[in-house]
Structure 1
Amino acid sequence: MSKRPYEDRERGQAHKKQRQDDQHSYSHDSIVRPQHRDTGDNARPSANQAHPHDDALSRLPPPTAALAAVPSYTPFTVSAPLPPLPDVLDGALSTAPFRHKSSASNYNRSSNPNDVTYEKLEFLGDAYLELLASRLLYARFPNLLAGQQSQLRELLVKNETLAEYARAYGFDRRVQVGDMERMMQDSKDRGNKGFNKVLGDVFEAYVAAVVLSDHEEGFAVAEKWMTGLWAPKLLEAAEKERYFTPSLSSSLQHSSTTTSGAGNMLKTYNPTAKAELQKRLLSGPGAKLQYEPYQKSVELKGDQLGQNRHFIGVYLTGYGYEKKLLGKGEGKNKVEAGNWAATEAMHGEAKGLVDECEEKLKVARDERRLEREAKEAKGEAKVEGKAEGKNEPTW
């Protein structure tokens, strides 16, 4: 009698047990972290591996703006690779962020209007995330222009970013949708990117559930969680776009490197750089600064689709020079690129030339001042002489 049927059955049971062992159990009160089994050359790095969350959070610029107080909450320590997933304390809300109303067996669009699903929660969660990101940028990057703050906020709250976090916490395995294929097709038809839109909504819903489930500390919990989660992405963007300011540049420098003062200034965005360069050089006779593109602007792609990169150079005419290139700069607009060009002129390779021209200007100013004082002194002497003549008695 052949033992093959039993061998097949044993093999099937072994495979079934292996599948069960490989599955992860997710509950609302557990902390979910991504598991990377591959440790070889093909291992997939964790999100934002260049800036681990705990390290990035410690290197963000400290808050400089006072914000409205929120309920106190004991600070948590950010663990690698992700901050702990906050609990949803309200049992009624614990599964709502992952449940689409179509998952109900008696699904009807007009029934059970009071049922809480991620569709309702994400409406509130979207607003919370906008507020949390705005508070984070306002407090830690107060010297950025409003447009720059808006661009950074969009990076933090867009669907691609939230879907990335949702997958990292295993939310993609917890979503309950009655007809997933139909939902993904509907999402594509509306111009969204399929399941990323669903996961983005689920993440927003979870944030709302965290806040709603604890009326006293929920907002503070969510804010500390998202600050730690956003820190690597925000720090990477700030370094890439050189979103530094004189008062914050030192706290954003790599702790493993030491840079000179000039190096810091070259990495520091100064919104008044053009005005400062003009003040230093343009009081001389015939002196002129010109800001012109040194190459055509380009449209960016990927995460920065729809944005442009401008390339501006600053040129000096005067002091014996004819359209001498002082510096180059890149930016999202011509003003930003021009400020970077002026910064490079004052702190880059042309720094000596700018200092020399400024010294010439000071000498010329001193000479004009002395001439003016001498003329004024002669004028006063003449006036005094005339006055003395008028007062002399006539005999």
Structure 2
Amino acid sequence: MMKRSHDEPHGSGTKKLRGAHQPDHDRKHSTPQQGSRNERGRQDLPRKEIDSKAVSHQLPPSSSAKADAPAYTPFTVTKNLPDLPEIYDPKLANSPFVHKSFGYDRTSTTTDLSYERLEFLGDAYLELFASRLIFHHFPALPAGAQSQVRELLVKNETLSEYARLYSFETRVKVADMEHMLRDAKDRGNKGLNKILGDVFEAYIAAIVLSDPEQGFVRAEAWLTALWAPKLIEAAASQKFSNPSLALQTPEGSDPRATYSPTGKADLQRKIQAYDAKLTYSPYKDSVELKGDQLGQNRHFIAVYLTGYGYENKLLGKGEGKNKVEAGNWAAVEAMNGECKGIVEECGKKLAEMKEKKRQEKEARELAVSSNGK
């Protein structure tokens, strides 16, 4: 803070009003470079010319080669877990797994890279790759829903899940790993998940940095293959309740494997009549999931039919993250599983009853019309 001069009167401040005692002719001829006043007396500050090109040269030089970002292209998704991309630069090979507490020179700013430094860059690449994937494959999805899907792909739980698939937890080097693991266990794996998520992001950055020409493409292809099953699962379960995320059922696939958010309503339209009803109830207690899915539940719902000569007939069972989803899965099973024949038989009877009623109604209307004549 600037201190006031001892020569200044107390309370006078450090600045004087420009032009307060300036003659009128001086203020009248002031130039824009000197500053001028508008009609209300506000001081117009002089406009400053900025040479962007010159300023850009003042930036510190890049510490590594920058990878080119190519146009988005579709990638082939492997059937099994995709191979872990190689980090070509030996100096970066171990950096994604090492915490700065593990023997790094903390005074160094460029030579020693910990996963904390790499995670900063990897996080940005991760967001970009996820955004490109969603933008190009689900173009009709609204922006808000796109953000929800992206969050599913980049959250710590997802990244730590992938890190474990490649056994990253066995390669992490932290000064007090045992204490960290105990703390993570007490916090329901959240502490360890955060570390594994950071390590995963750091690995992405190392892939790109170690291969300026193809690193971007290789990292994006790898993540696309990893993300594809999770995207398919989200789309199939209508997790975000948006038809724009819906997938087409591949020809020849098992219809029981395709989730329908209107399953219960569809089954009801098929067979429920005034003298027949469908009942949905748990066939076993819900369970709370553990590990990476801590805090989530699994519900088990079955659908039963009473009517058409059946009494509390089990048609199908389903599982889901809530009762609604589990009920829809049960309805999908009923319409496409072992009891498909019963559902179709009942649906045929219902259609015959509706047709009979329609004919009877037409006959009554015709009789009334004939009597009126």
**Which secondary structure does the structure 2 equivalent of 1:158 belong to?**
helix
- Deviations for 1:52-93, whole angstroms, at most 9, x for unmatched residues? xxxxxxxxxxxxxxxxx952579689799863625568x997
**What's the CA shift string for 1:265-317, capped at 9, x where partnerless?**
223322222111100112x2232211111221122334443332212111222
Distance 1:295 1:80 in 2: 33
Q: Which residue number corresponds to residue 166 of structure 2?
A: 165
- Sort the Cα spacing of 1:235 and 1:327 in 2 relative to 1 into closer, same or farther, 3 A: same
| 8 Å Cα contact 1:326/1:344 also seen in 2 | yes
Equivalent of 1:120, from 117, 120, 123? 117
2:218 counterpart of 1:221: yes
Please tell me whether residue 325 in structure 1 is matched to residue 314 in structure 2: yes
Q: Which has the larger radius of gyration?
A: 2
Deviations 1:124-161 (A, max 9, x none): 42454466467668849x99x99999778769833253
Q: Does 1:206 align with 2:203?
A: yes
Question: Is 1:312 aligned to residue 306 of structure 2?
Answer: no
**Counterpart mapping for 1:1-395 below 5 A:** 71=71, 83=83, 85-87=85-87, 97=96, 100-102=99-101, 107=106, 112=109, 117-126=114-123, 128-129=125-126, 132=129, 139=137, 157-165=158-166, 167=168, 172=171, 180-182=174-176, 185-186=179-180, 188-189=182-183, 191=187, 198=195, 200-211=197-208, 218-228=215-225, 247-250=248-251, 264-282=254-272, 284-383=273-372, 385=373
Task: Name the aligned partner's letter for residue 179 of structure 2.
Answer: Q
Check the 8 A contact 2:256/2:337 in 1, yes or no: yes
Q: 3-state SS of the aligned residue for 2:285?
A: strand
Between the aligned partners of 1:70 and 1:219, the Cα distance in structure 2 is: 8
Separation in 2, partners of 1:223, 1:122: 16
Q: Distance in 1 between matches of 2:102 and 2:154?
A: 33
The alignment partner of 1:295 has SS state of coil
SS for the counterpart of 1:342 is helix
Q: Structure 1 counterpart of 2:308, which letter?
A: Y
Q: Which amino acid aligns with 2:280?
A: Y
Q: Which structure's residues are more often helix, by fraction?
A: 1
The aligned amino acid for 1:273 is: G
Letter in 2 for 1:297: S
Cα distance change, pair 323–148 in 1 and its aligned pair in 2 (3 A): farther
Q: Deviations over 1:176-226 (max 9, x none)?
A: x6xx43365356446458888655533311212444677886543311022
Q: Which ranges of structure 1 fall in alignment gaps of 5 or more residues?
A: 1-68, 254-263, 386-395
- Contact in 2 for aligned 1:328/1:344 (Cα 8 Å): yes
Q: Show CA shifts across 1:309-364 (max 9, x none).
A: 21211122233333332222222221121112112222223222222221221111
1:328 maps to amino acid: K
Equivalent residues of 1:128, 1:208 under 8 A apart: yes
Deviation at residue 379 of structure 1 after TM alignment: 3.4
Aligned partner of residue 207 in structure 1, secondary structure: helix
Rounded to whole Å, the distance in 2 between the matches of 1:79 and 1:246 is: 19
Task: Let me know the Cα RMSD of the aligned residues.
Answer: 5.0
Quote the Cα distance in structure 2 between the aligned partners of 1:267 and 1:75: 24
**Structure 1-normalised TM-score?**
0.55
Count matched residues.
288
Q: What is the SS of the residue equivalent to 2:295?
A: coil
Gaps of 5+ in 2: 1-68, 240-245
Over 3 Å counting, the alpha-carbon distance change for 1:134 and 1:266 in structure 2 is: farther
**3-state SS, counterpart of residue 181 of structure 1:** coil
Deviation at 1:115, TM superposition (A): 7.6
SS of equivalent to 2:222 = helix
CA contact (8 A) 2:264 2:328 kept: yes
Matched letter for residue 71 of structure 2: P
Normalization by structure 2: what TM-score?
Answer: 0.58
